[in-house]
Amino acid sequence: MDLGVTEAEMAEALGVAVAMNAGAALAYSGRAMDAFRDLSEGS
């Protein structure tokens, strides 16, 4: 599946969100990366 973003871009976006002190981003960034990897494996 083409997600339109690379893993590095996804990680950078999550890093920016965490750096901006978005509490939910810190709490869910690991889950977001897991979901990204799961969906990427299908492509």
Q: Tell whether pTM > 0.95.
A: no
Considering its fold, how many domains does the chain have in total? 1
Confidence of residue 2 (pLDDT cuts 50, 70, 90): confident
Please state, rounded to an integer, the average pLDDT across all residues of the chain: 90
Say what the pLDDT of residue 10 is.
94
Domain extent for 29: 7-41
Say what the pLDDT of residue 43 is.
57
Q: CA torsion angle for 30, 35, 14, 9 (degrees, to 10)?
A: 130
> Per residue in 30-43, pLDDT tens?
999 999 999 998 75
Residue 13 domain flag: yes
Sequence letter at residue 4: G
Residue 2 domain flag: no
What is the C-alpha separation between 24 and 18, in angstroms, rounded? Answer: 8
What average pLDDT does this structure show over 3-31?
91
Cβ neighbours around 24 below 10 Å, total: 9
Residue 1 domain flag: no
